[in-house]
Amino acid sequence: MTDSPAAPAPHKVTLYRNGSVYTAADPFATAMLVDGDTVAWVGSEQAATSIADSSMDVIDLQGALLAPGFVDSHVHVTETGIALDGLQLAGVRSAAELLDAVAAFCVSASSAGGTVLGHGWDESTWSDPTLPTRDEIERAAGGRQVYLSRVDVHSALVSSSLAASAGLDGLDGAAAGSQVKRGAHTAARLAARQLPAEALRTYQRRALTEAAANGYVALAEMAAPHIGNIEDLQLAAAWNSAASGVNGVAVPEILPYWGELATSQEHAQSILDGLGVSVLGLAGDLNIDGSIGSRTASLRDDYSDAPGERGNLYLSVADAAAHLAACSLLGIQAGFHVIGDAGLDAALDALDLAAAEVGEQRVRAAGHRFEHVELADPAAISRLARYSVTVSAQPVFDALWGGGDSLYQQRLGSRRLEMNAFGSFYAAGVPICFGSDSPVTPLRPWSSVRACLQHTNPAEQISARAAFLGHTRAGWRAARYPNPMAGQLVPGAPASFAVWEVEELMVQVADGRVQSWSTDPRARTPLLPALDTGSDPACLLTVRDGQELYASGALGA
């Protein structure tokens, strides 16, 4: 006997009023009507009074801002849940503090036995960057296996027992110490992540709940074989089913990608056929190189703090070109994780080779995307624009590591000024969208918008409006979402939005002349929260396609 299909949700009409609505339809709108899963109307308070009737749910926004929901264009859902519920190491400032944290976690109520999973240490913030040994970590954990990912998740510290069980010795990137990189890191992570399906679902549920509480309506899941197995991807994509909500509550939409290298059109199709789940492309964290923090991003010149080191290229130009050509022929997105300038050179050369093989127009039409693209000069940016490659960037990287005495300065010296060139991307016409790379940076979208506005290099600052669009509508476009109206609140668009408690609404741009004209009411510029108040707006409500994902309880009918 099969289960009967779930009954459709009752049709509902909801009027949100007495607030501010961020919409291109009317920059002074204070109300919005949602009919089922669709925005039916936006307009003034006076008009809202005239159309309100007893058949509607009426929500008093109490002056809050109603705006399109955020799209995070680069997330690792399971890893985010692990980081939220596991051992959090962002606050440790020495090897001794790290060992103490491991020991305390292992005797705490939150530690359920098994492998200790931790995240977030960053030795670049320690006065003494010396890392603990494998044996020291082993003793601190009382003999339990330990995997502690660095903040960038491109290397980790491991205990002696995990190193032995994963067979790390002799692998590329396994030094005598506790830190593992490259192939050894992949082996350690996969060994530590051998989790049952229910544990994976629990971690994913934690991440999705966190995202909804912070105004996200969609997350681009960047799965890859070196991060987790296909079951992990399948479980993440399954949340899109209406029956898979968290305790009966809908969750943000998963936009799934799988970062596996294809050698030909036929190989690419076989990968897709074998996934057991539909994906948007063979893109995301298919690594051309690594990270700045772990010194594995591929650079043209040496790292400033490590003479002779220039990082690592994980894919050859020929392999990357074959992948791009294969995906272009299938009309699906390809893409790579690429951070260093030499890594970007390889990706761009691969685009040239792929275009020579299958035609430039076919390459452009596929809508390929490159993740991160942190170190790019004007010539490279021009080449990205030529192929209409979308850059999926993480603004909080700059906020955390872009200052004059922070990580980028340590690793790159004066080259730090070329990092995260958001203003240059926009000026060159490169499509750009934004995300967190969670768990690398938190799911805090307004902090990400602020990081664009307050970029540590003034030449690369962009307006809050451009940053907001990069976090909303651009995220849908980067995923080639079938509904072209997604990410805006106009009649006929999906009813996917968040409501925010705000202190003040204003126009915020780097150029004061632009700001003074934009705030003139005649300019009809929609306003966004002031981001210089020291705190982010508080999320009161998140809705996707008319379904409530999160409610703080502050708003009532």
Tokens of 279: 């994906």
Read off the pLDDT of each residue in 217-237 and give the average, rounded to a whole number: 96
Residue 164 in this model has a pLDDT that exceeds 80:
yes
Residue 405 in this model has a pLDDT that exceeds 90:
no
Tell me what percent of the residues of the chain surpass a pLDDT of 90. 86
56: pLDDT confidence band, cut at 50, 70 and 90? very high
Give the pLDDT confidence score for residue 530 in this predicted structure. 86
Residue pLDDT, tens place only, 276-321: 999 999 998 999 999 999 999 999 999 999 999 999 999 999 999 9
Give the pLDDT confidence score for residue 109 in this predicted structure. 56
Give the pLDDT confidence score for residue 512 in this predicted structure. 54
Residue of 553, 546, 545, 543 lying closest to 212 (CA atoms)? 543
11: pLDDT confidence band, cut at 50, 70 and 90? confident
Give the pLDDT confidence score for residue 9 in this predicted structure. 52
Q: Which of 6-15, 363-372, 454-463, 537-546 has the lowest mean pLDDT?
A: 6-15
According to CATH, the topology of domain 13-69+489-502+537-551 is Urease, subunit C; domain 1 (2.30.40)
- Domain spans in the chain, listed from the N-terminal domain onward: 13-69+489-502+537-551, 79-192, 215-478
Tokens of 531: 């981001």
Give the pLDDT confidence score for residue 274 in this predicted structure. 97
> Which of the two residues, 244 and 533, has the higher pLDDT score?
533
- The per-residue pLDDT of the chain, averaged, comes to 92
**How far is it between the farthest Cα atoms of the chain?**
74
Residue pLDDT, tens place only, 336-349: 999 999 999 999 99
Query: Residue written as tokens 């003479």?
Result: 307
* Cβ(467)–Cβ(449) below 8 Å: yes
Read off the pLDDT of each residue in 470-483 and give the average, rounded to a whole number: 97
557: pLDDT confidence band, cut at 50, 70 and 90? low
The phi-psi region of residue 427 (left if phi > 0; otherwise alpha if psi is between -120 and 50; otherwise beta) is alpha
Residue pLDDT, tens place only, 507-552: 777 665 444 444 444 445 678 888 888 789 999 999 999 999 999 9
Q: How many helices (H) and strands (E) does the chain have?
A: 20, 24
* Cβ(102)–Cβ(178) below 8 Å: no
Looking at the whole model, is its pTM more than 0.85?
A: yes
> Which of the two residues, 512 and 154, has the higher pLDDT score?
154
CATH class in words for 215-478: alpha beta
Fold: same for 13-69+489-502+537-551 and 79-192: no
CATH of domain 79-192: 3.10.310.70
Eight-class DSSP state of 123: G
Residue 43, helix vs strand vs coil: strand
**H or E stretch covering 98:** helix 95-106
Residue pLDDT, tens place only, 259-278: 999 999 999 999 999 999 99
Residue pLDDT, tens place only, 89-125: 999 999 999 999 999 999 985 666 789 999 999 999 9
> Which of the two residues, 470 and 555, has the higher pLDDT score?
470
Give the pLDDT confidence score for residue 1 in this predicted structure. 37
Give the pLDDT confidence score for residue 2 in this predicted structure. 41
Residue pLDDT, tens place only, 494-507: 999 999 999 887 77
